[in-house]
Structure 1
Amino acid sequence: MEAPAGKAACSKHIVLVHGACHGGWSWYKVATRLRSAGHRVSTPDLAASGVDPRPLREVPTFRDYSKPLLDLLESLPAEEKVVLVGHSLGGVSIALASELFPEKVAAAVFVTAFMPDHSSPPSYVLEKFVEGRTAEDWMDTEFKPQDPDGKLPISFLFGPLVTRAKLYQLCSPEDLTLGRSLMRVSSMFEDDLRLQQPYSEARYGSVRKVFIVCKDDLAIDEGFQRWMIENYPVDKVMEIDGADHLALFSTPAELASCLTDIAEKYA
């Protein structure tokens, strides 16, 4: 898509990384606004997500899951830096990408996303999140083993009740229908992430970070978002009122405005 006249000079490359069970499609409202503002936007599908053809059983590790993002960064020209944006579980993917390619990341932006620190294994924030949840919180989310030996990661899929009540509660009925139609089975890869070394202060820790708090998120609630920021302070905190977990759908104009401001400041 061509940039509007006069805006090419301020064009930034913004990479939008989806959360679990979703795909690059989930950024359609935000990506459209950013492109209309003249920015270059990439919305990769992570492995076994979106239109990626692989089934989850062919994606045994979190690095395998994140590989499409890692391949994208590896393919960039040496001098190019991107604004890397992760939503929900996508936060762990952009943290891994920042660890491996810190020189290619102008800023890492966590949109109500899981944000690892550089002193604990990357599973730590997921474990803390799960610790504070009851069976009632997960509602009809389905967790299933993929194989009898337990060698593959546990799969999960959001059910229709939790999707409507805690993920998309402020979204339009059309976006709820879209989400339910396109969701795929995913995993949190906790066991694999527990085996990984902490992302390093020298690499991941050197990347500038912004956290966007979605104040009406009922899935990763504001309290837990604030805990992650306290656990691992960032360069800037932004807030969006009226944003549920899928701020990508419920408050796309506000989210695109935040990302534009971040791109102008850091890229």
Structure 2
Amino acid sequence: MERFPHKIAAAVFVTAVMPLSGTTLPKLLKEIVSVIGGLGDSTFYYANGKENPATSFKFGTQFAREFLSQNSPSWDLTLWESPEKKCPIWQEPLLYTAKNYGSVRRIFVVSKVDKVIVEAFQRKMIAENPPQMVYEIEGSDHTVFFSMPLQLAEVLMKIANTSVKVKQSAADGF
């Protein structure tokens, strides 16, 4: 969104970090981790040596079961146990500007029982950086695509249909 705002019709934040213009992602992630009290049995990897910041991490199985996918089918939890499921850690703090990032239409999907980005934190981001639309999915955990896939697909179809209409209207000069 910051680098190519003109190429994005709409950004959909599904129970995700939605930075406020003028902030950085690492700052928000530290705030989330402090709210939940840590990442439990997750593992951090240091490609540049332990004296330097971690370069990637892998959510621990227990953390995934308790915080990420507590309402998801058990067979989906096996994906968290995959050794390839490492997440890179963005090293450079990208500053989100109102001119670029702030110009992209934003939609937020609230997960009501997310234990990682808890609903109160989701609502805080929405209040501080109001998106154009907000949807809620009852009973969904952090991994909405596992816990409530049909409801998420329905919301994404609504968003896609709305985004197409908005883009066509803009192209028509309305």
- Describe the SS at the equivalent of 1:255: helix
> 2:56 matched to 1:155?
yes
- Describe the SS at the equivalent of 1:265: helix
**TM-superposed deviation, 1:122:** 3.4
1:166 is aligned to 67
2:169 is aligned to none
**Residue identity (%):** 38
Rounded Cα–Cα distance in structure 1 between residues aligned with 2:83 and 2:54: 21
> 2:17 matched to 1:125?
no
Unaligned 5+ runs, structure 2: 165-174
TM-score (norm 1): 0.57
Query: Residues 246 and 183 from structure 1, CA distance in 2 versus in 1: closer, same or farther, beyond 3 angstroms?
Result: farther
Rounded Cα–Cα distance in structure 1 between residues aligned with 2:36 and 2:150: 31
Rounded Cα–Cα distance in structure 2 between residues aligned with 1:156 and 1:183: 11
Rounded Cα–Cα distance in structure 2 between residues aligned with 1:221 and 1:111: 12
Structure 2 residue aligned with 1:226, among 97, 103, 123? 123
Q: Is the 8 A contact 2:61 2:80 kept in 1?
A: no
> 2:15 matched to 1:112?
yes
- For residues 88-103 of structure 1, what are the structure 2 equivalents within 5 Å? 98-103=1-6
**Greater RCO, 1 or 2 (C-alpha within 8 Å, sep 6+):** 2
- Describe the SS at the equivalent of 1:175: helix
Rounded Cα–Cα distance in structure 2 between residues aligned with 1:149 and 1:218: 29
Rounded Cα–Cα distance in structure 2 between residues aligned with 1:204 and 1:102: 6
Q: Please report the RMSD computed on the Cα atoms of aligned residues, expressed in angstroms.
A: 2.0
Q: Is the 8 A contact 1:215 1:241 kept in 2?
A: yes
Q: Is the 8 A contact 1:125 1:228 kept in 2?
A: no
TM-score (norm 2): 0.84
**TM-superposed deviation, 1:250:** 0.9
- Describe the SS at the equivalent of 1:100: coil
> 2:74 matched to 1:142?
no
- Describe the SS at the equivalent of 1:184: coil
Query: Residues 144 and 178 from structure 1, CA distance in 2 versus in 1: closer, same or farther, beyond 3 angstroms?
Result: closer
Query: Residues 133 and 187 from structure 1, CA distance in 2 versus in 1: closer, same or farther, beyond 3 angstroms?
Result: farther
> 2:51 matched to 1:187?
no
Unaligned 5+ runs, structure 1: 1-97
**TM-superposed deviation, 1:109:** 0.4
> 2:162 matched to 1:265?
yes
**TM-superposed deviation, 1:144:** 3.7
Rounded Cα–Cα distance in structure 2 between residues aligned with 1:162 and 1:121: 25
Q: Is the 8 A contact 1:116 1:124 kept in 2?
A: no
Q: Is the 8 A contact 1:145 1:154 kept in 2?
A: yes
Amino acid at match of 2:152: L
